[in-house]
Chain A
């Protein structure tokens, strides 16, 4: 049973476009949602995170939109660059939970 779901395994966009990565979850107790970015041959690294008390978190070209009622969130990468080509993992956690639960990842390819 996948508690955190990422609807697309892969996504291709042109340079300059906005990439939209979707994520949904099942457990209403989740209150912390980080996104991790992973380049080939490396470990994942925290990109941006949001808590459930907020509906939007922005950091440069990266924005998380969060919908608590629908139990979904999305990561928007504005003005995509070839250097953004990577795998992006949505994750979730809650106070009292065991540890972060990761989605299956979305691999983004940005074509110049």
Chain B
């Protein structure tokens, strides 16, 4: 069964809305990551964590918060969603930082 799962798979919200994207990994990995994927930009790192309660800022953090509640669970929060945050979001996990990352299936978010 899939080792990295994301929910929801699709989400539509309105400008100013509150959105939480969820990610769970069963790899027993320490590192977890949130990326956004946009045409022409590839994968861009939003936030990452190396353990429960830890949070590190990525390259495009503005407008996003994240929380790592357990080793398995990593959440991405958009408290005032904007149309510029319409994107495909991926969660990933890895045992050691940077080495093989295992990606989830993605969440497509549309902000109207």
Instruction: Give the interface of A toward B (CB within 8 A).
Output: 6, 9, 32, 34, 36, 41-46, 49, 89, 93, 97-105
Contact = CB atoms under 8 A, between A and B. Distances in A.
B100 A46 contact: yes
Interface string B18-43: 00000000000000010100001111
B42 A102 contact: yes
Interface stretch (B66-74, B79-87, B101-109): B101-109
B108 to A, nearest CB: 10
B90 A34 contact: no
Contacts of B100: 34, 46, 49
Interface of B: 4, 33, 35, 40-45, 48, 56, 58-59, 90, 92, 97-106
Contacts, number: 57
Contacts of A104: 40-42
A70 B40 CA distance: 24
Nearest to A32: B98
Nearest to A46: B100
23 contacts: A9-B40, A32-B98, A32-B99, A41-B106, A43-B4, A43-B92, A43-B103, A43-B104, A44-B43, A44-B90, A44-B103, A45-B102, A45-B103, A46-B100, A93-B97, A93-B98, A99-B33, A99-B48, A101-B59, A102-B35, A103-B42, A104-B40, A104-B42
Given A43-B103, A46-B101, A99-B45, 5 more contacts: A43-B104, A44-B43, A44-B103, A49-B100, A93-B97
B93 to A, nearest CB: 11
A102 B46 CA distance: 13
A44 B44 CA distance: 13
A104 B33 CA distance: 18
Given A43-B92, A43-B106, A100 B101 contact: yes
A32 B44 CA distance: 18
A44 B92 CA distance: 9
A43 B98 contact: no
